[in-house]
Amino acid sequence: MPSLERTCECGGSRELSAPRLREDTPERAGLDPEEIRHLVREVHDLTTGPAPWAAGVALVVGRGPYIAAEEAAGWAVRYAAYDEQKDAGVELPPEAQVPMTTDTPVDLASLTKLFTAVAAVQQIERGTLGIDARVGAYLPDFRAAARHDITVRQLLTHTSGLRPELPLYDCADDAERLEMLRAQAPVGVPGTYCYSDLNLLLLQHVLERLTGGTLDVLIHDGITRPLGMTATRFGPCPGAAATEDQRRPWAKADRGMLRGVVHDENAWALGGVAGHAGLFSTARDLAVFCRALLSGGAYGPARILGPDFVELLLTPPGLGFAVDQPWFMGELAGRGAVGHTGFTGTSLVVDPVTDTFLVLLANTVHPRRRPPDSRPRARAATRLARAVYLSPSGGAPSGGV
């Protein structure tokens, strides 16, 4: 992983500091400007036409300490409702529509899992959480997890065997939801990959039991506040991009057009703070998160993890992070690129080999959810992979990708 840390002296004490992001040209970042222009144009194309991929899209691309492209297109809020008979959105009056910007908060959906994973690795670094410890050691009342010897590592790598999700949104109250979680036994073979929201929900309970703090406080105090990510928080978030006119039968709850409250039905049922979903953030804030990972856990004077523990987090198979997945990473996949996607249309990719990152936020579920299509995510990542041709600051060719 490229090291961008330097030692600085502040008030007579020496501390590690990593360069902050700054806007510059693609050439300065060692990126082909023509490929970046294509990428920006394609982002605009995603929000146009009779069947746009998303109502609105925000993009930030960077390499080293440079932001090489920051762009937004389309609408954060475009529709008042979804017309089931016409299979189309009911557009708001033009004066009521809200443009998407790179500072628009977006419901991150499963990108929340990355922050929960970092919070867990912070506890591992401190020695308060064992990566191969049994969940039952921290949560003895979670009977099924204890009985089947589910481990913290299995939760972080989606190898616990737990089912993908539960209808917590149909429970009568919090007590029933908690009892349902406590009773969940593996349905698959432990050690075999099966993506599951329940892994991060159990991990949330482990962290909260271990620290005595709630997940929202742990993420704020341990990640977003040190990094200066002031726009990243759990909802409600009134200024956020709208998501879905959430109604059955296409959704799992009848809540109407959503804006500023979490889209995920289980996270909503759990009060908006959940290990698998619930965070809102902006493209610029997530760029800082990506830069901190590429800098070995540091950004400016802040450090959220030591380099060895960032390596633990990102080394295959990844702890919370997906590794080398061409279906959304395109040609960046194959050498240790990491990232994640979210159901609402969000994604980020970090490539330690080329020291690049891509944040693509969208509200693809506005005005209603459709079958997932990650091809635009993969195309954007491929554009970035093909853009890498110089070392940052315009130095000699780095050998390409």
- Kindly tell me the burial class for residue 165, based on how many C-beta atoms sit within 10 Å of its own C-beta (0-12, 13-18, 19 or more): middle
Give the integer Cα–Cα distance in Å for 203 and 190.
Answer: 16
Give the integer Cα–Cα distance in Å for 97 and 245.
Answer: 16
Which residues are CB-neighbours of 172 under 8 A, at least 6 positions away? none
Reference 186, options 157, 152, 153, 144; nearest CA is: 144
Domains and CATH numbers, the chain: 17-117+215-387 (3.40.710.10)
Which residues are CB-neighbours of 217 under 8 A, at least 6 positions away? none
- Identify residue 289 by its one-letter amino acid code: F
Which residues, listed in sequence order, are joined to residue 256 by a DSSP beta bridge? 246
How many other CB atoms are found less than 10 A from the CB of residue 371?
Answer: 4
The sign of the dihedral angle between the CA atoms of 119, 335, 282, 262 is negative
- Walk along the chain (401 residues) and give the pLDDT tens digit of each residue: 433 333 333 333 344 578 999 999 999 999 999 999 999 999 999 999 889 999 999 999 999 999 999 999 999 999 999 999 999 999 999 999 999 999 999 999 999 999 999 999 999 999 999 999 999 999 999 999 999 999 999 999 999 999 999 999 999 999 999 999 999 999 999 899 999 999 999 999 999 999 999 999 999 999 999 999 999 999 999 999 999 999 999 999 999 999 999 999 999 999 999 999 999 999 999 999 999 999 999 999 999 999 999 999 999 999 999 999 999 999 999 999 999 999 999 999 999 999 999 999 999 999 999 999 999 999 999 999 999 976 666 554 443 33
Q: Residue with structure tokens 């990972």?
A: 293
How many other CB atoms are found less than 10 A from the CB of residue 249?
Answer: 6
One-character DSSP codes across 264-301: SHHHHHTTS--SSS-EEE-HHHHHHHHHHHHTTSEEBT
- Identify residue 162 by its one-letter amino acid code: L
pTM of structure: 0.93
Residue 391 pLDDT: 66
310, 293 Cβ separation under 8 angstroms: yes
> Any idea what DSSP says for residue 230?
T
Element (H, E) at 244: strand 242-246
Which residues are CB-neighbours of 203 under 8 A, at least 6 positions away? 116, 117, 120, 152, 155, 156, 275
The sign of the dihedral angle between the CA atoms of 100, 105, 109, 114 is positive
Give the integer Cα–Cα distance in Å for 69 and 60.
Answer: 6
258, 158 Cβ separation under 8 angstroms: no
How many other CB atoms are found less than 10 A from the CB of residue 17?
Answer: 20
